[in-house]
């Protein structure tokens, strides 16, 4: 008996129902996954050769010498291992460091440079490097094959510190004494050839404004050009003493000097005013006898028709006054024969 069309439709829907399709799709995906896993196991079980880069650190360098050329920071090994091993090695290589023994470096015999040049054949250290990587890897080669070591003899010397410091004081304040640099000298260490060119160590430039009391300032050591030099410290202390001052004025007699032989000279006026800055502590200790103002005729043409001469300060109190100046330094003079 022929089935009616509605009955045929029910059979088709039952055969291709979503529930039955899900079971078939699930079975297909499981088979596909198992096939992929088997393929991966087969592929990664085979041996492969690849290049792997590692950070490198060289040990046991000569203690009486210093490197003046950087060593390579990384090396590349040509490794042979299974796919699984190489996956793990390549992942760990990003954070691992290979330590290389440089105690048996050899010196270049025909070296015309002043520096000492040594070399190390890395491919002679295959077994030592392989031990750091494990037994499941075979190292075929290392790049670079040869590492050069350029040394100079270690040396040391004591040099002064040169301060690059600009400073200004607040109104009515001035510097008191010299700036103290602590320490004023430092011991530097480094290649002998480099230290022979260094006479002093500079600080970085620094600006300090409106000083009004004794203060200490940390100033960093300038490291430009000192990459291979150990300065021992990173900064010095600059101590700047300041004091309050006032402006004072004294009247000083003019001393006539080097008048031509057979002549006598006299200036008008015979005295000039001298202004200066002086600390409040030293104010009472300053008097006119500590200053000398001269009219020096040695550089004056007495026959030139000009009867004016420039007077100059020849003496002032040492370390007690500053900004000393003569008020109206041009004076008239009369010169006549005896």
At 139 the pLDDT is 79
Q: Is residue 16 part of a domain?
A: no
Residue bearing tokens 């010397």 = 157
Say if residue 61's pLDDT is above 70: yes
CA angle 16/19/25 to nearest 5° reads 80
Per-residue pLDDT of 20-48, as tens digits, reads: 556 667 776 777 777 666 666 555 556 76
Q: Is residue 11 part of a domain?
A: no
Q: Report the distance separating Cα 265 and Cα 270, nearest Å.
A: 11
- Final residue belonging to a domain, choices 98, 128, 153: 153
57 and 141: one domain?
A: yes
Per-residue pLDDT of 293-337, as tens digits, reads: 999 988 777 666 678 899 999 999 988 898 999 999 999 999 888
At 1 the pLDDT is 47
Give yes or no for a contact between 56 and 98, defined as CB atoms under 8 angstroms apart.
Answer: yes
Q: Report the distance separating Cα 190 and Cα 150, nearest Å.
A: 14
- If one compares 79 and 48, the residue with the highest pLDDT of the two is 79
Say if residue 130's pLDDT is above 90: no
- Final residue belonging to a domain, choices 185, 213, 243: 243
Could you tell me the pLDDT band of residue 137, with boundaries at 50, 70 and 90? Answer: confident
74 and 127: one domain?
A: yes
- Per the structure, how many domains does the chain have? 3
Q: Is residue 32 part of a domain?
A: no
User: Which one-letter DSSP state was computed for residue 308?
Assistant: E
101 and 195: one domain?
A: no
Q: Report the distance separating Cα 226 and Cα 185, nearest Å.
A: 16
Q: Report the distance separating Cα 275 and Cα 37, nearest Å.
A: 99
99 and 164: one domain?
A: no
50 and 137: one domain?
A: yes
How much of the chain, in percent, has pLDDT values that exceed 90? 43
234 and 277: one domain?
A: no
Q: Is residue 110 part of a domain?
A: yes
- If one compares 170 and 84, the residue with the highest pLDDT of the two is 170
Q: Is residue 26 part of a domain?
A: no
Least confident of 22-36, 161-175, 203-217, 235-249: 22-36
Taking each helix axis from N to C terminus, what angle separates 83-92 and 18-45, rounded to the nearest 10 degrees? 80
> How would you write 216-284 as a 3-class SS string?
EEEEEECCCCCCCCECCCCEEEEEECEEEEEEEEEEEEEEEECCCCCEEEEEECCEEEEEEEEECCCHH
The 3-state DSSP class for residue 21 equals helix
Q: Which CATH number does the domain housing residue 276 bear?
A: 2.170.120.30
Query: How many C-beta atoms surround the C-beta of residue 267 within 10 A?
Result: 21
Q: Is residue 18 part of a domain?
A: no
Say if residue 231's pLDDT is above 50: yes
At 252 the pLDDT is 96
At 163 the pLDDT is 95
Give yes or no for a contact between 187 and 158, defined as CB atoms under 8 angstroms apart.
Answer: yes
Q: Is residue 39 part of a domain?
A: no
- Final residue belonging to a domain, choices 180, 211, 243: 243
202 and 262: one domain?
A: no
Q: Report the distance separating Cα 27 and Cα 21, nearest Å.
A: 10
At 113 the pLDDT is 59
Q: Is residue 6 part of a domain?
A: no
Q: Which CATH number does the domain housing residue 187 bear?
A: 2.170.120.40
52 and 135: one domain?
A: yes
88 and 134: one domain?
A: yes
179 and 275: one domain?
A: no
141 and 166: one domain?
A: no
Could you tell me the pLDDT band of residue 5, with boundaries at 50, 70 and 90? Answer: low
Across all residues in the chain, what is the average pLDDT? 84
Q: Report the distance separating Cα 228 and Cα 159, nearest Å.
A: 16
User: Which one-letter DSSP state was computed for residue 71?
Assistant: P
- Domain extent, residue 74, equals 45-153
């Amino acid at each position: 008996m022929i089935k009616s069309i509605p009955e045929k439709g029910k059979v088709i829907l039952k055969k291709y129902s979503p529930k039955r399709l899900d079971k078939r799709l699930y079975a297909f995906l499981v088979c596909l996954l198992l096939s992929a896993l088997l393929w991966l196991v087969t592929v990664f079980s085979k041996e492969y050769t690849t290049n792997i880069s590692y950070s490198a650190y060289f040990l046991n360098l000569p203690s009486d010498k210093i490197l003046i050329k950087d060593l390579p920071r990384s090396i590349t090994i040509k490794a042979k291992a299974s796919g699984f091993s190489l996956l793990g090695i390549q992942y760990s290589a990003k954070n691992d460091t290979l330590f290389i023994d440089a105690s048996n470096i050899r010196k270049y015999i025909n070296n015309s440079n002043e520096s000492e040049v040594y070399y190390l054949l890395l491919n002679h250290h295959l077994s030592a490097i392989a031990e750091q990587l494990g037994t499941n890897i075979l190292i075929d080669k290392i790049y670079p094959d040869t590492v050069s070591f350029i040394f100079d003899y270690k040396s040391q010397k004591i040099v002064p510190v040169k301060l690059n410091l600009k400073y200004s004081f607040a109104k009515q304040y001035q510097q008191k004494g010299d700036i103290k640099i602590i320490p004023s000298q430092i011991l530097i260490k480094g290649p002998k050839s480099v230290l022979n060119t260094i006479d002093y160590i500079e600080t970085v430039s620094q600006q300090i404004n409106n000083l009004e009391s004794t203060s200490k300032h940390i100033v960093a050591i300038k490291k430009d050009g000192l990459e291979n030099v150990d300065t021992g410290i990173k900064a010095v202390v600059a101590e700047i003493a300041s004091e309050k001052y006032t402006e004072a004025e004294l009247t000083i007699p003019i001393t006539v000097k080097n008048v031509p032989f057979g002549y006598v000279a006299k200036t008008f006026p015979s005295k000039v005013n001298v202004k200066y800055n002086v600390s409040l502590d030293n104010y009472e200790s300053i008097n006119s006898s500590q200053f000398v103002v001269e009219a020096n005729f040695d550089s004056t043409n007495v026959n030139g028709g000009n009867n004016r001469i420039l007077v100059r300060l020849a003496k002032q109190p040492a370390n007690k006054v500053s900004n000393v100046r003569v008020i109206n330094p041009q004076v008239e003079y009369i010169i006549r024969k005896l």
